[in-house]
Amino acid sequence: MTIGGRILMFALIIVLGACATEISKVERKTVDVEGAYTVDPQITWSEFPGASTSSNGLVWTVDGLFLQRLDLFGGIEDGQALFEPSGAEEESLPAFHAGMRESEIQELVLDTLTQQGFVDVEAINLRPADIGGRKGFRFDLIMSTASGLQMKGLVAGVIVNDELNLVLYTGTRLHYFAVRQSAVEGIIKSITFKGGAA
């Protein structure tokens, strides 16, 4: 191999290495989410750290990210978006602001998902909820992908010390949302904040 060829091969390895996603099994009984809270995963999930585009969170799935995805956000601070910008020219991701009401956080989630390419994103049943002993909220999602795949979702959130903690679970309306929904409900019930209940 010529020197040029070796350099090319080395560059290729570096590039591919940067793209590689280190998928790992989540088998621990308790998982720390960005130092903000802990959860019991309930079942064995696959974690996608390299695929994660979330700024403060973990991304899990069992059956594949395109079929079902659980985002656990912890300690989102004032001025921070839920996801890192993708670099798309027209993208302008909305940010969380301390003092946002529940309906505004719902709007933040809807606007974020829409900018990520989901279509007809709607929230239903915004309601108060106890999350980890704190006053939080929940709502449900319906939407579709650009290619027309019907999706469902659920969101549970709570603001602690002016930081947003959020569980965002989405999956295909047929089968894949429902198949792990009870595990996600168990995860939400298991949320324990570092300072304990309020």
Residues lying near another protein in the complex (CB under 8 A) are found at 90, 92-94, 97, 101-103, 106, 110-111, 114-115, 119-120, 123-128, 137, 139, 144-149
Biggest alpha carbon–alpha carbon distance for the chain: 66
**Tokens, residue 190:** 């298991």
* Smallest separation, CB 74 to another protein (Å): 23
- C-alpha–C-alpha distance, residues 7 and 60, integer Å: 36
* Smallest separation, CB 166 to another protein (Å): 16
Residue whose CB is less far from another protein, 52 or 144: 144
Residue whose CB is less far from another protein, 143 or 183: 143
Residue whose CB is less far from another protein, 8 or 124: 124
Residue whose CB is less far from another protein, 46 or 53: 53
* Smallest separation, CB 180 to another protein (Å): 23
Cα separations (Å) of 117 from 61, 112, 114, 156?
20, 9, 5, 22
Helix intervals (H) in the chain:
3-19, 102-115, 176-179, 181-190
* Smallest separation, CB 9 to another protein (Å): 24
Give the angle subtended at the CA of 145 by the CAs of 142 and 150, to the nearest 5°. 50
